[in-house]
Amino acid sequence: MTLQNEMTPQKELVPDKTDMGTKVATAGGVLGALAMTSCCILPLVLFSLGVTSAWIGRLGALYQYKWFFFAFAGASLIYGFWKVYKPAGQDCADGAVCARPANKIFMKISLWSATTIIMAALVFPYVTPYFLGY
């Protein structure tokens, strides 16, 4: 029985080339979403959690860079969604075992969460006056 296992040729593992691009795009989208919330939503969340400091007030100065953060986050999300949802063609050689791509479910959840956070950050300054009554 062991003789047959030794005689069986080992299959070569071929790594997925698109895996790193998906991870980088997802990380860029999440970081861009966090950067978008740094001017408006992040100080509110920090205050509600009991974190107070003088530097929290300075986060409002990042509001002028909001559209740069949005452009970065949007480009990262578009690329990430393209990498995750595009049809994957198998470029495996005959007799090779293709490596399992990155956990697509985690990537999809991360991308959709970042998209939700970005949409909330875009809408927040416009709907806040209605909730606060001024």
Residue pLDDT, tens place only, 40-57: 777 778 878 888 777 777
The alpha carbon of 95 is separated from its chain's Cα centroid by a whole number of angstroms, namely 34
Q: Is residue 45 part of a domain?
A: yes
Q: Is residue 57 part of a domain?
A: yes
Share of the chain above pLDDT 70, in %: 73
pLDDT class for 98, splitting at 50, 70, 90? low
Q: Is residue 74 part of a domain?
A: yes
Tokens of 105: 């479910």
Q: Is residue 133 part of a domain?
A: no
- The DSSP string of 27-46 is HHHHHHHHHHHTTTHHHHHH
Inter-CA distances, 2 with 10, 11, 12, 95, Å: 14, 17, 20, 21
Structural domain tally of the chain? 1
Q: Is residue 81 part of a domain?
A: yes
Q: Is residue 6 part of a domain?
A: no
Only one residue has tokens 């895996």, namely: 19
Q: Is residue 92 part of a domain?
A: no
Global pTM reads: 0.67
Q: Is residue 5 part of a domain?
A: no
pLDDT class for 13, splitting at 50, 70, 90? very low
Domain that holds residue 72: 19-85+100-127
